[in-house]
Amino acid sequence: MNGIVPLYKPKGNTSGACVYRLRHLLQEKKIGHTGTLDPDVDGVLVLCVGQATKLVNRLMDSHKIYQGQVTLGVATTTEDASGEVIAHKPLAQPFDKQVIQAAMQQLTGTIDQTPPLYSAVKVKGRRLYEYARLHEPVERPTRRVTIYNFQMLADPFFNTATQQQTINFTVECSKGTYIRTLAVQLGELLQVPAHMSALTRSYGSGFGLAQTFSFTDIETQLAQGRRDFLLPLDCAIPQMSHYELSPLQWQLVQNGHWLTLPEQTAPELALYYHRVLKAIYQRQTQRFVPQLMLLNNDR
């Protein structure tokens, strides 16, 4: 079984648990995801089945879009709403909208981030959250990410009872960005503790929320003998030039042979046989050589 499943991940589930559940539903072991979502985050989680697992890295490279909420006045251990409070500073008055917008603008472009201590980033072969749970000191690596757009979705809300301010936002960013950390960085610029209090991934790996299937959708389709949720592999490469192989060329490709295709000038080619994606070849001077083989793809 081969294909791509744009899943709607519900809150309360880990990405790994979603993979495990789909393996059980499809009776297919070879399934992977294209970018972890924290348990408290819902939204787009693209899963790759069978031969599609070879395309995971390509899907992960795409930009992502989120909608969420930052709460100013409180910081937590995990940088989101699930952690323990480690800093609390009641706001005497709300920040002006223009001040918040200016701070968000400072966080737009290429920025450095230090991943949260409670995250799956590996240091010396161990996840950061393992160090955190054992209360062991660890030096967290800094990574460089790109924030393409970071804006408010509505006027910020000030809660006079808690003396906290919430900001509903949208952010478009590169892979590897921690939105939790971005929320903390916004608080740092405003000189107040902050955390990410809600988050939804609305776009990732080339798919939007409207294109996703819930587990209920998948279970219903399977009960009806349908698999509309399982999309063909070429959904991962919609912009790549296509080339239909002749029977002789198909024999060469099956043996990993290079091809001479003088009329083709694209840097990469998606090779099809009988209209089914079978390989991705890369151009080297006057010939195309294998880059990714998908010979067992059947759809």
Give catalytic residue positions: 38
DSSP string, 68-134: EEEEETEEESSSBTTSPEEEE---SSPPPHHHHHHHHHHTSEEEEE---SSS--EETTEEHHHHHHT
Q: Are 113 and 181 in contact (CB under 8 A)?
A: yes
Alpha-carbon distance 88 to 168, whole Å?
Answer: 20
By DSSP bridging, strand 64-72 and strand 194-204 are antiparallel
Q: Are 79 and 180 in contact (CB under 8 A)?
A: yes
% helix, strand, coil for the chain, step of 5:
25, 35, 40
Question: Alpha carbon of 152 to those of 105, 170, 198, 211, 215: distances in Å?
Answer: 11, 6, 14, 25, 31
Q: What are phi and psi of 156, to 5 degrees?
A: -65, 150
Host H or E run for residue 246? none
